[in-house]
Amino acid sequence: SDTLYLKVRAGIIGDDRIAVFLRDMSEQRRFEAMRRDFVTNVSHELKTPAGAIALLAETVGDAADDPDAVRYFAGRIAKESTRLTELVHRLIDLQKAQGSGAAVAVRPLGLREVARRAIAENQVQADASHITLQLSVDGRSLPLVAPEPGAAPEPDAVVMADGESIVTAVKNLIENAIHYSPEHTTVRVAIAHAPAKAGREPKVTLRVVDQGIGIPRESLGRIFERFYRVDPARSRQTGGTGLGLSIVKHCVEDCGGTVAVWSRPQEGSTFTIELSAAGENDAR
């Protein structure tokens, strides 16, 4: 990957003179290689469940007179097709996040309700895994559902960002936190105004903190890559496409923010999204 690819053109321009033009093609080569990898990965990821479904369907046919076996194989087929559907949805999300760039509508956005939407989308899964979800803003814990209108005002942190992008990002982080945590643990969504620093514009952070299996140190640098999974065998069993975090990264970066991870195996992981706070002058 460190090889330099040069396009060379030379021509005689005089009796004793030759002109040589060098063009650095490395960037383009890298880009093409990445695109090739991506297509290979996508076809592989699509072929695996598709192949499994074909095989299972055949087996169901053979086992037609054994109701238990039919039920078992039908269940496996359903699981594989869910996986296929999930993958297609993820690819669409990724496409949206990558393609948008300048197209995202960055405007003042209250993170409290963003977090509530992302939490609501994961509530069923959390309940099924006996995982408690929590929400806080600047250290004050808040109910997961917005209170009735007219109730006491709640704290919020307003950032400059695109609502859909950030909901997608936070939703994916919570989904992972639940997925990679044992039962009876807690997943916290903590929103906070970052401490003011001289010469730096005000920032807001949103953290998703879990008490899950954690991520080995040597994988930390790679988890935001498309299709990277710490344990491909495990994720194949439990679902997961290796696309979630690359979608998170794109969504957050499209809004001018950053996403970072802290993790220790057996202790848990913390994903931190940082965005610019909306200033007084940003029209609400």
Which residues are bridge partners to 187 per DSSP?
133
Residues contacting 283, CB < 8 A, separation 6+: 108
Give the shortest CB-227-to-ligand ADP separation in angstroms. Answer: 8
- Alpha-carbon torsion, ordered 276, 279, 283, 284, to 10 deg: 70
How many CB atoms neighbour CB 149 within 10 A? 5
Stretch near ligand ADP under the rule CB under 6 A, chosen from 10-18, 41-49, 172-180, 190-198: 172-180
Q: Pairing state of beta strands 6-12 and 186-193?
A: unpaired
- Tell me: does residue 110 bind ligand ADP (CB under 6 A): no
Q: Are 154 and 112 in contact (CB under 8 A)?
A: yes
Stretch near ligand ADP under the rule CB under 6 A, chosen from 13-21, 63-71, 76-84, 207-215: 207-215
Stretch near ligand ADP under the rule CB under 6 A, chosen from 18-26, 131-139, 208-216, 250-258: 208-216
For residue 85, the number of C-alpha atoms closer than 13 Å in the C-beta half-sphere is: 6
- Tell me: does residue 129 bind ligand ADP (CB under 6 A): no
Give the shortest CB-118-to-ligand ADP separation in angstroms. Answer: 14
Interface pick for ligand ADP out of 104, 159, 213, 273 (rule CB under 6 A): 213
Q: Which of residues 221-280 bind ligand ADP (CB under 6 A)?
A: 223, 228-231, 235, 240-246, 269
| Residue among 204 and 259 whose Cβ is closer to ligand ADP | 259
- Tell me: does residue 49 bind ligand ADP (CB under 6 A): no
Which residues are bridge partners to 109 per DSSP?
159
Give the shortest CB-240-to-ligand ADP separation in angstroms. Answer: 3
Paired tokens of 277: 């706070």
Stretch near ligand ADP under the rule CB under 6 A, chosen from 63-71, 98-106, 128-136, 206-214: 206-214
Give the shortest CB-212-to-ligand ADP separation in angstroms. Answer: 5
- Tell me: does residue 170 bind ligand ADP (CB under 6 A): no
- Strands in 186-193's sheet, in edge-to-edge order, are 140-142, 132-137, 186-193, 203-209, 268-276, 258-264
Angle at 146 between CA 141 and CA 151, to 5 degrees: 90
- Tell me: does residue 212 bind ligand ADP (CB under 6 A): yes
Q: Say how far apart CA 80 and CA 283 lie, in whole Å.
A: 47
Q: Are 239 and 86 in contact (CB under 8 A)?
A: yes
Instruction: Kindly write out the interface string for residues 50-69 of this chain, putting x where it contacts ligand ADP by CB under 6 A and - elsewhere.
Output: --------------------
- Please give the residue ranges that form the binding site for ligand ADP (CB under 6 A): 176-177, 180, 210, 212-215, 223, 228-231, 235, 240-246, 269
